[in-house]
Structure 1
Amino acid sequence: MNEIASLYPLMYEPIVRGALEEDLGLAGDLTSDVVVPPDAVATASFVARKPGCVAGLQVALSAFRMLDPGVRMTVENDDGSNVAGGTTLAVVSGSARPILTAERTALNILSRMSGIATATRRAVEQTAGCKARVVCTRKTTPGLRTLEKYAVRIGGGVNHRFGLDDGVMIKDNHIVAAGGIAAAVGRARARLGHMVKIEVEVDTLEQLDELLTLDADAVLLDNMSPDRLRIAVDRIAGRMIAEASGGITLDNLRAIAESGVDIISLGWLTHSAPILDIGLDLETSAGDARTSCRSAA
């Protein structure tokens, strides 16, 4: 696991509780309550259907614990593990009803977070040997930013801003509203404390030249080709952090990284990463029944 990828229960339990409440509605789990005997016990295994990077296992398991504090859980491949298809990630055993009730919430969380971690790991692998760091953005699912940005860290990426209060990011619309790059940077620097960084988005080399005369800490080079990025990096000459963003895919990611930029931000890590297909295979204590549930997109 990435050593800085910490996620405390206080940070994710309200999210999981809200997801369970959404799924239970006002009447609870009608199917499990009327079909499954109250004394039935079961063992359920989380199994990866496809290869990928695991993320969010403890978050997913907390859904079972919330419904049944007596549930027993064994983790076999925790967050950060690269697993092959068919690998068991964790085993849950206890009363069958709460296991079935929490199943979909747990799978939704685990599949989503593992998909993000898997996409991030692939992106990071594409930049191996380059100084550029793969970074996510604020293009996250409303309410799930904490989980999704954690998954990026598990995949080996780095987080950009968590929110609007996490730094100054002067983008094109801010520049228009402020009356130009110089006016925007000047106002920001005059009002901020020394601990707050300023980053400015530029679309052209001419804008970059202007920014280099101002007191900014970083520049976002938006939608520039690898060749244009090389020119920009040469002009920056280490005077500020250079971030590349916009139009970057796995196909051109290596070329972007080789341009010499410090940061490559990828919105699709969180807004478009496919889930990692994970299922929950359930078996009764008597071993006389076995069903498999595949996660759905």
Structure 2
Amino acid sequence: MGDTESVKARGVSSHLTRVPGLPLLLPPTTLAALADSWLQEDCPGLNFAALATGAVPAQAALWAKSRGVLAGRPFFDAVFAQLSCRVSWLLPEGSRLEPVAKVAEVRGPAHHLLLGERVALNIAGWSGQVAGTRKTTPGFRLVEKYGLLVGGAACHRYDLGGLVMVKDNHIAAAGSVDKVEVECGSLQEAVQASLAGADLVMLDNLEPEALHPAAAALKAQFPLVVVEASGGITLDNLARFCGPCVDIISLGMLTQAAPALDFSLKLFAEEPVTPRF
């Protein structure tokens, strides 16, 4: 569950209103396979702790302990579905969270609640788009890309085959930019790529002072070319890269450095009481 609250280029609630069915993008068989692999990794052999807890019916409450945005319900559900537990959500996906808030309740055999606890918790103005990149945690891309969508950002390309993007190393191998597309380090390269028929030109590693004049000059000559800014962009300096001639801004740190929210899953006997953390 990732904290994407700082992404303010698009409002979370309005994004979810536009795309209310984001969980439909997640194939059930893929979710089940992921959840099974996560549980297998966490407990590959005998679960001796189960001897202490037993299989008596139990219930637990999921508490949000930090401020952020709730993203990851389908993955949380998938983990506990593998363990024959039932999750009852109290807040919708995309809700803004304030500590301490009760988010969900989980019911099932005590040893299964504890088996799934840590795995489930670990999941858990300008008119352009803020987009992620392929810089994702190996094996965790589906979760991180889904988190981007919930937070109002764009996925960019999901994998290497999702978009024909020719980068600087391809240009070096080919000898010149007019044979390939599309990552460019200067206006001159961007013009060459556009003349060669590029649909999207990435202006990479340009400071805002150089980026905006280059984007404006490129748009003046090729108004239909999509201009993307990338390289050295963080949530702190994002506003400096927003401009009328920049269509997309991609940030690798959206999936690389976004902090996980702090959650706790606490078992309770009757009515859950807000814990003291």
Match of 2:135 among 139, 142, 145: 139
Tell me if the contact between 2:179 and 2:196 (Cα under 8 Å) persists in the aligned partners.
no
RMSD: 2.1
Partner of 1:26: 45
Change (3 A) 1:293 1:136: farther
Partner of 1:257: 242
Change (3 A) 1:291 1:90: closer
Q: Distance in 2 between matches of 1:15 and 1:293?
A: 33
Partner of 2:10: none
User: TM-score, normalization: structure 2?
Assistant: 0.86
Partner of 1:182: 178
Tell me if the contact between 2:71 and 2:147 (Cα under 8 Å) persists in the aligned partners.
yes
Q: How many angstroms does 1:280 deviate by?
A: 0.7
Match of 1:155 among 151, 161, 168: 151
Q: How many angstroms does 1:290 deviate by?
A: 8.6
Partner of 1:188: none
Deviations 1:110-129 (A, max 9, x none): 1xxxxxxxxxxxxxxxxxx1
Residue segments in structure 1 that go unaligned for 5+ positions in a row: 111-128, 186-199
- Where 1:21 maps in the other structure, the secondary structure is helix
Q: Distance in 1 between matches of 2:178 and 2:154?
A: 29
Change (3 A) 1:80 1:291: closer
1:16 counterpart letter in structure 2? A
Partner of 1:60: 76
Tell me if the contact between 1:229 and 1:259 (Cα under 8 Å) persists in the aligned partners.
no
Q: Distance in 2 between matches of 1:161 and 1:3?
A: 21
Tell whether 2:267 aligns with 1:282.
yes
Tell whether 2:41 aligns with 1:12.
no
Change (3 A) 1:203 1:293: farther
Number of residue equivalences: 255
Deviations 1:184-239 (A, max 9, x none): 25xxxxxxxxxxxxxx1111122123223221101111111112111122112223
Tell me if the contact between 1:227 and 1:259 (Cα under 8 Å) persists in the aligned partners.
no
Deviations 1:15-49 (A, max 9, x none): 1110001111121x211x1211333x321111110
Tell me if the contact between 2:88 and 2:104 (Cα under 8 Å) persists in the aligned partners.
yes
Partner of 1:81: 95
Q: Distance in 1 between matches of 2:258 and 2:264?
A: 18
Q: Distance in 1 between matches of 2:78 and 2:101?
A: 21
Tell me if the contact between 2:194 and 2:201 (Cα under 8 Å) persists in the aligned partners.
no
Deviations 1:139-162 (A, max 9, x none): 011111111101100000111111
Residue segments in structure 2 that go unaligned for 5+ positions in a row: 1-15
- Where 1:242 maps in the other structure, the secondary structure is strand
- Where 2:82 maps in the other structure, the secondary structure is helix
Partner of 2:63: 47
